[in-house]
């Protein structure tokens, strides 16, 4: 299957949670972009779910770890992975996510192109 990724992704393996209503699943991130994430499909996953909330901690070892939270849509589900597309993210979360991606890209021009594409969508 052909994958069309419009945003550069960074490898970012970290524990994460997916929430829908009163149910929370533990998972792990594979990669991130400004527009979404790829995560492991949790055990007992309900494949009918489409709208879920993804959350994970940045700087887990810090005294005040930052919690990134985004409302997402399940775009694809295959090979034990879920592709999540971000539909809403608060300003603090997007600021920290932008900073993380900026540090990993190491190229301001690429980051600005990513931001322009995000705003354009």
| pTM, to two decimals | 0.80
Mean pLDDT of the region 19-44: 95
Mean pLDDT of the region 17-28: 97
pLDDT at 82 (0 to 100): 98
Instruction: Determine the Cα–Cα distance for residues 121 and 111; give it in Å rounded to an integer.
Output: 16
Percent of the chain with pLDDT over 70: 79
Mean pLDDT of the region 45-72: 89
pLDDT at 50 (0 to 100): 96
pLDDT band per the 50, 70, 90 thresholds, residue 64 = confident
Summary mean pLDDT of the chain? 85
Q: What CATH architecture does domain 10-120 belong to?
A: Beta Barrel (2.40)
């Amino acid at each position: 299957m052909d994958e069309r990724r419009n945003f550069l992704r960074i490898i970012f393996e970290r524990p994460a949670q997916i929430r829908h209503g009163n149910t929370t699943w533990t998972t792990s991130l594979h990669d991130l972009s400004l527009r979404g994430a790829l995560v492991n499909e949790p055990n007992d996953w309900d494949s009918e779910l489409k709208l879920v909330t993804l959350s994970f901690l940045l700087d887990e070892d810090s005294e005040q770890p930052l919690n990134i939270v985004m409302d997402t849509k399940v775009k694809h589900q295959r090979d034990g992975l879920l592709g999540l597309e971000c539909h809403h993210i608060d300003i603090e979360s997007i600021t920290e996510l932008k900073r993380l991606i900026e540090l990993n890209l190491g190229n301001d021009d690429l980051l600005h192109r990513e931001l322009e594409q995000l705003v354009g969508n």
